[in-house]
Amino acid sequence: MSAALEVLRAAQQGDREACEQAVLENNGLIWSIVRRYYGRGVDPDDLYQLGCLGFLKAVQGFDFSYGTCFSTYAVPKIAGEIRRFLRDDGAVKVGRSMREQAQTLYTARERLRQSLGREPALSELSEATGLAPEEIARTELATNAPESLQQEMADGLTLEGTLGTEAPEEGLVERIALREAIDHLPEKERMTILLRYFKGMTQEQTARVLGVSQVQVSRLERRGLGHLRESFEA
């Protein structure tokens, strides 16, 4: 048996180091499938993690006695995992009016960046577009996908550090799991977590956007993090 197949067999038997080695040795194969699905509204890193998940499922299901080339078996598994996500769990469907608002915001932001020489404030965007701060927040949250558990916010905190838990599936699908967990939060808790941890806003800025007090933001944030922690510990 070749060294590559020995690694795959060890991975199939639950050897964590072998799983990691198998993924690394097949990175080219995984990325070759991932690139087919660019431009579908999902970040390439998320697609790659989906591809890794499909690859690991292929490892678990591969029958070494069949004599089939592993890559032949793995390709449809990798592609299938990505297609399933895009079909069932992919990016939130955004309405036409929301897309138009997003384009208006993008154009206004770029114009203000050039004229001001810096990132425009929320109030400046609101004045330039005629959109209320709440509308701007909703539009940006609807059209921008959440990023990583390790992304730092304004005060240097990360969701991973705040939740105090390891990433699910040893980090291979952490961003997907995070997206799903946040999507299930009550609306105000979801908005609070996204504004605080993915837009990097302070509690004071978040309170202005949501039209609530800073004390309420603090409570919403604690409740939202509590619900996320429960999701990751379940």
DSSP of the chain: --HHHHHHHHHHTT-HHHHHHHHHHTHHHHHHHHGGGTTSSS-HHHHHHHHHHHHHHHHHH--GGG---HHHHHHHHHHHHHHHIIIII-SPP--HHHHHHHHHHHHHHHHHHHHHSSPPPHHHHHHHH---HHHHHHHHHHHS----TT-B-TTS-BHHHHHTSPPGGGGTTHHHHHHHHHHTS-HHHHHHHHHHHTS---HHHHHHHHTS-HHHHHHHHHHHHHHHHHHHH-
Residue 102 has pLDDT above 50, yes or no: yes
Question: Which tens digit of pLDDT belongs to each residue from 179-211?
Answer: 677 878 888 898 888 888 777 778 888 887 787
Answer whether residue 167 shows pLDDT above 50: no
Q: Report the CATH number of the 146-234 domain.
A: 1.20.140.160
pLDDT at 148 over 50: no
Contacts of 56 (CB under 8 A, 6+ apart): 11, 19, 23, 172
Q: What is the pLDDT of residues 108-117, one digit of tens each?
A: 888 888 888 8
pLDDT score recorded for residue 95: 59
- The domain ranges of the chain are 3-89, 92-144, 146-234
Are both 92-144 and 146-234 of the same fold?
A: no
Tens of pLDDT, residue by residue over 25-48, are 999 999 999 988 887 777 788 888
What is residue 229's predicted lDDT score, i.e. its pLDDT? 79
Which of 4-13, 159-168, 193-202 is most confident?
4-13
CATH fold for the domain made of 3-89: Four Helix Bundle (Hemerythrin (Met), subunit A) (1.20.120)
Find all residues with CB under 8 Å of 214, minimum gap 6, and list them: 203, 204, 207
Q: Is the pTM of this model over 0.75?
A: no
Of residues 126 and 160, more confidence is placed in 126
Q: Residue 55 — very low, low, confident or very high, per pLDDT cuts 50/70/90?
A: very high
Does the pLDDT value for residue 168 go beyond 50?
Answer: no
Averaged pLDDT of the chain: 76
CATH topology of domain 92-144: Arc Repressor Mutant, subunit A (1.10.10)
92: pLDDT strictly greater than 70: no
Cα-Cα end-to-end distance for the chain: 40
